[in-house]
Chains A and B, each alone.
Chain A
Amino acid sequence: MPEGKFCNKTPITTEEQLKATLGDKGGKQYYEEMNHLDVDSEKLWGAIQKTMKSRTKTWLEICAHCGLCAESCFLYQVNGRVPEQVPSYKIQSTLGQMVKKKGKVDNEFMQMCMETAWSKCTCCNRCGMYCPHGIDMGVMFSYLRGLLYSQGFVPWELKIGAGMHRVYRAQMDVTMEDWVETCEWMAEETEEEWPGLEIPVDKEDADIMYTCNAREPKHYPEDIAEAAILFHVAGENWTVPSEGWEQTSLSMFAGDWECCKDNVVNVYSAIERLRPKRAIGTECGHAHRATVIEGPYWAGREDGQPPAPYIHYVEWLAEALRTGKLKIDPAKRIKEPVTLQDSCNYVRNQGLKDVTREIISYIVEPGYFVEMAPNKEHNYCCGGGGGFNGIGLYREQRNVALRKKKQQILDTGCKLVIAPCHNCWDAIRDLEEEYEIGIRWSFLKPLVIGMLDVPEHLLPKDE
């Protein structure tokens, strides 16, 4: 059958298409159309031949089917350890078959692949650490997602997510005007309590260019205000770009490679335009992966680096606390058992494990920090990574996936979880809603603001 109205091989590129697709309640028509969507085998095989790197090929070939990766995958663990959840099985039965059949696969197969790629793997890359050959399913599933996307087999929400990025260059309908307006608003709202506080837009040659996640201007602008407060107290010379401020990439989770590149180039152009000494991203984990870890490759940058040093928020925060730019009032440190969610996207993917613990050492009274087990680069995914959190079709599977984190948190005995990554934060919130284990969770910014030792001259005068 020809392609459907909503479910098709063409990305969403106009606001009109976007709204129409959004209007399809729960993707009902979309998924119905998917049942009749043809696979363009020629194109699929062409894409595989053109884009499949030798690493992926080798991985598919050398897998010894030893199953050593099985236990490493939290989805295997929480799903009754069924063979269908063994990482090597998941990839061999999908991408492996697709390659073996030279792209000659049918609709049913593609739908099975879609379900596997988005509901049986969160691209958390944990298995890669345990395979004796270093075979990383997270990487291969990202690749598979790209192939599926190009054939129109992608969950409804992620088709929309990628479309948002294409239309607004943000994961939500936040225009450049909305963004700048939100910065002004937050500055106004905050300057009274923090005299002299500013959110400078498009300042050239600043020390720091700050970028964030579109959910902040859209629903939680406090996050921007909180970043501003901390930069202000730390005495930083900083700015935000009017264009190129959105760092996240749902297109990465959707497998829309072209769009990934477009977004990250947009952010990099802002760096080139404003020439900051360095860029700092918000607490979001996948945003960091998209702009700092994978982004340079999408953008075709040979040195594999963004145009200026680009660090994650936890790196800046640790530095500010270490150098005394921000001081913590010891009396206000956390004095209850507290644990930390290590985000795969910047801990496993970039090794930022010690820096987060350094932050903990400043803000938690000694003796109160409880590690999850396992932790650091061995930590499990929150349960909602790789777009899993947002896909209605797989909500039940996602809820099952949350059980691993639930158990890890319960085992710490902590009621407070520090979850710097936005997506982990969402997953942990959902976890509490679904299982009601009586926990609280927080980003770093509000916690730190609450315990700052603020220099006299930065406080409002007349109170």
Chain B
Amino acid sequence: MFKKILLATSGAPSTFGAARVAFDMAKRYGAEVVVLNVMGVPTKAFSQVVNDVRTGEEVEVDDEYRSWVEEELKTTFEKQFETVEFSKLVLTTGVPHREILRCARDEDVDMIVMGASSGDSNVYRKGYPGSTLQRVAKAARCPVMTVHRETASYWGGFSNIVFATDFSKQAASAFKFSLNAAKELDSDLTILHALDISGKVLDQNEIEDRLIAARERIRGTYDLGDFKNCDIEVWEGVPYVEIVKMARERSADLIVMAHHIRELDPEKARIGSTMEQVILRAGCPVISVSKPDKV
């Protein structure tokens, strides 16, 4: 399940966490890493002038700039490149989420790994609003792993996976991915449903009933086969808070969630996006799954 990994990085320190996880996974599971750097967003569709993703400066992408960026990246990830068997550097210009998706498709990767702020710098041009992550997570055909720069609990390998379900169609794919990962990596799996009671006035009995119903629903929906190391939990509250709490309690090193925001405007989508909140608050990498492919 991890044969080819796409690491999307700007080369900035905020993406080092993502790089650490991507290269470590590749080393452990013998995967190939494709390192993608979107150098800048074209200022004019047909011009060579781009806004550098990191600095926001207008720069002209020519061979000189290209090789400078390439050198920088090679130096930055020098040690890591040595640890993996195959690696490849792809440099391009364009709108970051588009180029990440394009590269993932061209290279047919099994997973995209990115930093929580990769390509999302504050100088990111207005008018292509919103989060690179939201857009990548929504459209990618493979799971997308996000590593926030403060990610602390990842020490290599995955031994405790928390899969948070909201029973959406996409959650079925996310479950499949979680189960396969747990089996393959020989780790524990917690299936969690966070019952959303935010903004609702429910009496205690009703909450109890719903918790029981949700448990049953998990049992009825997700077929574990002969997999034993699995717990089922239903907690009530604000979903992202509960997911993050659970991850901490279990010392989880991976959270898996479904992504299914249908909102076209990523600015609106990110408000109230459980996934985005989890990514920012969790201490471990978060994988979002949206499509049934590559799980």
* Residue B139 lies at the interface, judged by CB distance under 8 Å to chain A: yes
A430 to B58, alpha carbons, bound, how many Å?
12
In the complex, the answer to whether A171 meets B45 with C-beta atoms within 8 Å is yes
| A450 / chain B contacts, CB cutoff of 8 Å | 264-265
Q: Are A164 and B46 CB-contacts (below 8 A) given A22-B62, A185-B105?
A: yes
| Chain B nearest CB, measured from A333 CB (Å) | 15
User: Looking at the complex, which one of A222, A390, A432, A441 makes contact with B47 (CB distance below 8 Å)?
Assistant: A390
The minimal Cβ–Cβ distance linking B52 to chain A, given in whole angstroms, is 14
- Is B45 in contact with A161, judged by CB distance below 8 angstroms? no
Query: CB of A215 within 8 A of chain B?
Result: yes
For the complex, give the distance between the alpha carbons of A446 and B128 in Å: 12
Main SS of chain B's interface residues? loop
Query: A290 CB to closest chain B CB, in angstroms?
Result: 14
In Å, the complex CA distance between A429 and B45 comes to 13
Q: Does A463 contact B (CB under 8 A)?
A: yes
Q: For chain A, which range describes its interface: under 10, 10 to 19, 20 to 34, or 35 or more residues? A: 35 or more
Q: A219-B95, A221-B98 are in contact. Are A157 and B47 (CB under 8 A)?
A: yes
Q: State the Cβ distance, B100 to closest chain A Cβ, in Å.
A: 13
> Chain A residues near B94 (CB, 8 Å)?
218-219
Interface string of B162-190 (1 = CB under 8 A from A): 00000011000000000000000000000
A250 at interface by CB-CB < 8 Å = yes
CB <8 Å contact, A25 and B60: yes
| Interface residue B125 (Cβ < 8 Å from any Cβ of A) | yes
Expressed in whole angstroms, the minimum distance between the Cβ of A217 and any Cβ of chain B is 10
Q: Taking the complex as formed, is A192 at the interface, i.e. its CB lies under 8 A from any CB of chain B?
A: yes
B44 contacts A429, C-beta separation under 8 Å: no
Report the minimum CB–CB distance from B145 to chain A (whole Å): 20
CB-based nearest B residue for A172 = B46
Residues of A within 8 A of B115 (CB): none
Q: B291's closest neighbor in chain A, by CB? A: A192
Q: What CA separation (Å) do A25 and B44 show in the bound complex?
A: 16
Number of A-B residue pairs at CB separation under 8 A: 72
In angstroms, Cα B286 to Cα A68, docked, is 66
Asked if residues B127 and A22 are in contact (CB atoms below 8 Å), the reply is no
CA distance in complex: A43, B153 (Å): 74
- Residues in A with CB closer than 8 Å to B46 are 157, 160-161, 164, 171-172, 214-215, 250, 390
User: In the complex, A59 Cα to B64 Cα: how many Å?
Assistant: 48
Q: Does A23 sit at the interface, judged by CB under 8 A?
A: yes
Q: Which residues of B sit under 8 angstroms from A222, Cβ to Cβ? A: 98
Chain B positions 62 through 104: 1 when the CB is less than 8 Å from some CB of chain A, otherwise 0: 1110000000000000000000000000000011001001100
Distance to closest chain A CB from B128 (angstroms): 8
Q: What's the Cα separation between A429 and B95 when bound, in Å?
A: 15
Contacts of B200 in A (CB 8 A): none
Residue B280 is within 8 A (CB to CB) of chain A in the complex = no
B126 interface residue per 8 A CB criterion:
yes
Given contacts A22-B62, A220-B95, 15 further A-B contacts (CB under 8 A): A157-B46, A172-B45, A172-B46, A189-B139, A213-B45, A214-B45, A218-B45, A219-B94, A220-B98, A222-B98, A390-B44, A429-B126, A429-B127, A440-B129, A449-B264
Q: Can you list 22 contacts pairing A with B, beta carbon distance less than 8 Å?
A: A26-B60, A161-B46, A172-B45, A172-B46, A185-B105, A189-B101, A218-B45, A219-B45, A220-B98, A221-B98, A389-B44, A390-B46, A392-B47, A426-B45, A429-B126, A430-B43, A433-B126, A440-B126, A440-B127, A440-B129, A446-B264, A446-B265
Q: Enumerate the 8 nearest inter-chain pairs by beta-carbon distance, A residue then B residue, closest first.
A: A215-B45, A390-B44, A429-B127, A25-B62, A171-B46, A189-B139, A219-B94, A390-B47
